[in-house]
């Protein structure tokens, strides 16, 4: 089996990164985490990755003084140096230009803490509570030019409880994230989940039937 060389791009703590690295430690997992790259030199996830024996790199966006494309060209060069085939964004807090999105078209995936297309952007858990939705969750999708958009690979759902705060909801969604992201990367790396127009064939829904009806 070919293990596809994958880079994870992070900006922060990297808990999803950790879940992907753990999954990829299984010999039969179809992706190998060959690089963790951060735009922030102080991202705690970098140390965690290095401790786990993964190559790390920093491309500090602040050194490119607002020139997003120059920053992305450097990111792209580092990815190519490491012979990366797939990219998984995991809390990578940069808005991407069409340059990087185009360069990695159908080979770059992202995780978002909401059931897209609802609640794009930030503060998803606060907004889900404000709107009173009864189901919330997380989405892994291919990256397209629009932020938090692109063909959906997997969604995982959790019920929203009357007693939830943004923090308790975030914690339950994060558990789902750690489950669905490794599944999604495996489907993509193995060529099972593929883009077909605006949709993905071979994707999954990750929810217990009991989660789908509430209360
Ligand atoms: C996650 O909630 C992810 O869905 C979002 O950013 C957060 C990153 O968390 N894109 P972590 O760094 O993976 O812990």
Taking the centre of ligand 1 as the mean of its atom positions, its distance from the CA of residue 95, in whole angstroms, is 15
Atom of ligand 1 nearest to the CA of 113: 4
> Does 151 contact ligand 1 (Cβ within 6 A)?
no
Backbone angles phi, psi at 25, to 5 degrees: -75, -15
Q: What is the pLDDT of residue 99?
A: 98
Asked if residue 14 has pLDDT above 90, the reply is: yes
Instruction: Express each pLDDT in 174-199 by its tens digit.
Output: 999 999 999 999 999 999 999 999 99
User: What is the C-alpha separation between 87 and 100, in angstroms, rounded?
Assistant: 11
pTM of the model: 0.95
Structure tokens at 57: 């790199």
- Is 112 a known active-site residue? yes
Mean per-residue pLDDT for 167-176?
98
Structure tokens at 110: 């992202």
Atom of ligand 1 nearest to the CA of 170: 2
- The closest residue, in CA terms, to atom 2 on ligand 1 is 113
């Amino acid at each position: 089996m070919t293990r596809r060389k994958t880079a994870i791009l992070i900006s922060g703590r990297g808990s999803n990164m950790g879940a992907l690295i753990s999954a990829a430690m299984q010999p039969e997992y179809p992706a190998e985490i060959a690089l963790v790259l951060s735009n922030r030199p102080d991202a705690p996830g970098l140390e965690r990755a290095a401790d786990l024996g993964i190559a790390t790199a920093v491309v500090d966006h602040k050194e490119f003084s607002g020139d997003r494309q120059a920053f992305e060209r450097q990111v792209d060069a580092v990815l190519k140096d490491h012979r990366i085939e797939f990219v998984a964004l995991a809390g990578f807090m940069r808005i991407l230009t069409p340059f990087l999105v185009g360069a990695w078209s159908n080979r770059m995936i992202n995780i978002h803490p909401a059931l897209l297309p609802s609640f794009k952007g930030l503060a998803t858990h606060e907004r889900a509570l404000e709107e009173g939705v009864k189901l919330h969750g997380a989405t892994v999708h291919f990256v397209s030019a629009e932020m938090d958009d692109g063909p959906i690979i997997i969604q995982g759902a959790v019920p929203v409880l009357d007693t939830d705060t943004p923090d308790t909801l975030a914690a339950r969604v994060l558990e789902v994230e750690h489950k669905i992201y490794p599944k999604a990367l495996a489907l993509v790396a193995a060529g099972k989940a593929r883009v077909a127009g605006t949709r993905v064939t071979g994707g999954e829904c990750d929810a217990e039937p009991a989660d789908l009806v509430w209360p």
